[in-house]
């Protein structure tokens, strides 16, 4: 993904509210399914870490790999993911 595209996605994500929250149960199969569905619907998702805050940096990268999304940014207790239907790593928004 190119730098201008990442900048555009970061700018768009500023206006988003967290659409999904990761709780103390962690990334369960149900959570991953819900995250995948939200990514399919909106393509750009802000996730809030309510629990597991010590592991948020590694978890945010793992979640991107598992869902086939691109980790746009991770700031504090939130992470932003982007996934396009066709090809998540190379498509422009």
Structure token digits, residue 45? 């998702």
- Separation CA 93–CA 6 (nearest Å): 9
CATH code assigned to 3-82: 3.30.110.60
State residue 60's pLDDT score: 93
For the four alpha carbons of 12, 14, 36 and 42, in that order, the dihedral sign comes to: negative
DSSP string, 59-74: HHHHHHHHHT-EEEEE
Query: pLDDT truncated to tens, each residue of the chain (93 aa)?
Result: 899 999 999 999 999 999 999 998 889 999 999 999 999 999 999 999 998 878 899 999 999 999 999 999 999 999 999 998 664 443 444
Residue 9 belongs to what H/E stretch? helix 3-13
State residue 86's pLDDT score: 62
State residue 88's pLDDT score: 41
Structure token digits, residue 6? 């990442």
């Amino acid at each position: 993904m190119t730098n201008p595209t990442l900048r555009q996605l970061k700018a768009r994500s500023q206006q988003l509210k967290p659409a999904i929250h990761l709780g103390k149960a962690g990334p369960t199969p149900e959570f991953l399914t819900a995250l995948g569905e939200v990514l399919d619907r909106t393509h750009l998702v802000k996730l809030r870490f309510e629990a597991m805050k010590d592991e948020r940096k590694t978890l945010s990268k793992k979640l991107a790999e598992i869902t086939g999304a691109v980790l746009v940014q991770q700031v504090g207790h939130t992470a932003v993911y982007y996934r396009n239907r066709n090809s998540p790593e190379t498509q422009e928004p």
